[in-house]
Chain A
């Protein structure tokens, strides 16, 4: 006995009774309350705190702010692109069905699943110039002292980026993997029959299907990377000498120095970058 395909239901019709409307209204109230009290009000208050033009003058005159802006841009451009390209490559790796690849993929999720504090601290210790694993190994092998990793701003920032990539790569790999798995395998089979090479298959089948997902993921990742406080703060503390701050950590620095207006100003200054991204992501998702 077979069945023809089930017709999907039409849009839910309007409800006739007030009891349904009553519950509809009241069931969104908890979230609305949370939103009003803990999002809307703080945002408005924050903007109000950032209302003085002098804050911005002070902000732009602070050399640390300039350095932070540069760091943030470097972080965004380098870390995100490296991460996404790796995620794309690894999605091609993890889609292969081998028993040992399955094991690796199960372990691969760990950086994402475990909290970042202990892992970042672990790396920080690895980088300790005196007794960290890396320098100890260098000493044992060459008799030389390894560099003071976190004391060089460039190296320190690089390691923050590596930390960030380490943490977020699994998530994006999973996303792109899901995108890859959605591509019907018969397209690849047809291409094989037509004599396509691996690269051609990627260029003409995989990439066109994944282009949009890749782009959207990159943009979303930009928003989240801007908010990555832990990777910098726990590894370098923003140092040495406040040279590796990013926007996410700068606000806290000003807060600690009791310069709340500057803290808020530094956030407001980032909004022209963040808001268009947020708007774009919202459009894509609220379909």
Chain B
């Protein structure tokens, strides 16, 4: 059935009417950041849409730590990276073990553990921040990177366990039974049958926790204070307190800091979208 030409044009026009504002709305803050990053200090604030003389000197400043605010840029990048990777790895480990025990081994009390995890997932992390801060003080972990790592693992695990459990439940139990009959011990089942079949979910979950830790601000700024041990997120926040901060360098650092998550997200997009949206709300 060929639709009349005019109707097609109006439909396309209507769609464009939505699409273009959406695109602009989405990109403005990011483009603005990019704009600052490629402009020199004075021209950045001129309000133009594209700098008169685009430059990469800001990147040079940042990478060579040529400003006292950037003194520890590389260490801080390293911290962000290290913490993110550790959180990703630990969360994956803990969540996979728990999901395997609950879903495949049908451990007694598994339901309760699942509920505890769900509860933690739903409580807003900001509400847990102050008690966590005080508790870390009690444990003597304040200012240590382990405080942030463990806090982020605590926050990321529940959701990861839930997603992995949902994915695990989709595997038929006959596979486990066949493996048992073939002579598999629990560990052999875990490594040789379970893990290989869970790879897409493991990727989604690992990426999720890694990004969560990399992007985290509140907990990072509460639990870490030493310039050498903070993450880039906290350092960016610290820039704000002064009046004469080099705004363009701030934006450049911000842009650099924002790129890895975007890159990772787009690389693993396939796993992320299906793995995580089905997890958040079961319709």
Contacts and interface: CB of A to CB of B under 8 A. Distances in A.
A286 B120 CA distance: 13
Given A12-B106, A38-B151, A175-B277, A227 B127 contact: yes
Contacts of B107: 21, 24-25, 27-28
Given A28-B113, A35-B116, A175-B281, A19 B185 contact: yes
Contacts of B265: 109, 113
B194 to A, nearest CB: 11
A23 B105 contact: yes
A232 B27 CA distance: 20
Given A23-B101, A113-B262, A34 B150 contact: yes
A101 B268 CA distance: 20
Contacts of A220: 122, 280-281
Interface residues of A, number: 107
A204 interface: no
Contact of A278 (B47, B119, B236, B253): B119
Task: Say whether chain A's binding surface is mostly helix, strand, loop, or mixed.
Answer: helix
Interface residues of B, number: 102
Contacts of A1: none
A252 B98 CA distance: 33
B186 A20 contact: yes
Interface of A: 8-12, 14-15, 19-25, 27-28, 30-32, 34-35, 38-39, 41-43, 45-46, 49, 89-90, 93, 96, 98, 100-101, 104, 106-111, 113-126, 131-133, 136-137, 139-140, 166, 170-171, 174-175, 178-179, 182, 210, 212-213, 216-217, 220, 223-224, 226-230, 233-234, 237, 247-248, 251-252, 255, 260, 263-264, 267, 270, 274, 277-278, 281-282, 284-287
Given A178-B277, A210-B283, 12 more contacts: A8-B172, A30-B97, A31-B161, A41-B135, A110-B30, A117-B257, A122-B33, A125-B32, A131-B45, A227-B124, A227-B126, A251-B129
6 contacts: A9-B174, A28-B110, A93-B18, A108-B22, A126-B28, A260-B130
